[in-house]
Amino acid sequence: MSPEQTNPYEDMLLLPRHVSPTRRPMPQKDRAAQFAPFAALSGYEEIIREAARLTDVFTEPSEEEKLRLNDQLLRLQTVLSRQPQVTVTWFREDERKSGGQYETVQGRVLRVDQQNLTLHLLCGTVIPIHLIRSLQSDDPALADNE
C-alpha cells in the first residue's frame, strides 16, 4: 500500500463489475429475493400469541350444586326418549395449556353414558359430566323443584 492510499481497497473501487463468461446474470426479481427478510425465529410469533392467550381456571361446584346437577341428570335419563332440548354450561379444558374456558352449548340430549360419565348431544358434542357447571331445560320433567 502506497503512502497516499488510506483505504486498503481503494484500488478496487473503480474496477468494472465482474461478469461471468459461463453463467447468465440472475434476473433482477430473483436477486431481490435474496435480500428478503430472514425469519431466524420461525414460530416465535405463534409462541408469543399462545403465551398471551388467557385461560380460565375450573372452579369446583359446591356440594349443593353437585346434588342439584346429579338430580337433574337422573331426571334427564327418564326422558331420554324425547331427546329434550338442554342448555349446558361446562368447562372445556384447553388442549395446549393449563386451564380452559367455560362454554355454553344448546342441543338435544342423545344419551347419558354412565360408563364413561359423559353427556352426548345430538349435534355431536360430548361433555364430561364432572365438568358440567349448569344444566337447564324447558322440559317440565327437568325443571328445578326449588
Residue 52: pLDDT band (50, 70, 90) is confident
Q: Is the pTM of this model over 0.75?
A: no
How many CB atoms neighbour CB 83 within 10 A? 15
* Residue 96 within a domain: yes
Radius of gyration of the chain (CA): 34
* Residue 38 within a domain: no
Residue in the structure block whose three cell numbers are 344448546? 106
pLDDT in tens, 23-41: 998 888 887 777 766 667 7
**Angstrom distance (rounded) from CA 96 to CA 77:** 34
* Residue 87 within a domain: yes
Residue 146: pLDDT band (50, 70, 90) is very low
* pLDDT value at residue 116: 93
112: phi > 0 → left, psi -120 to 50 → alpha, else beta; which?
beta
* Residue 120 within a domain: yes
* Residue 45 within a domain: no
* pLDDT value at residue 88: 95
* Residue 25 within a domain: no
pLDDT for 70 beyond 80: yes
- More confident: 3 or 108: 108
* Residue 31 within a domain: no
Question: Is the dihedral angle over the CA atoms 19, 20, 23, 26 positive or is it negative?
Answer: negative
All three cell numbers of 79 = 326422558
* Residue 16 within a domain: no
**Domains in the chain: how many in total?**
1
pLDDT in tens, 107-116: 999 999 989 9
Domain of 124, in residue numbers: 63-142
Q: Which amino acid is residue 102, in one-letter code? A: Y
Provide the CATH number for the domain around residue 71: 2.30.30
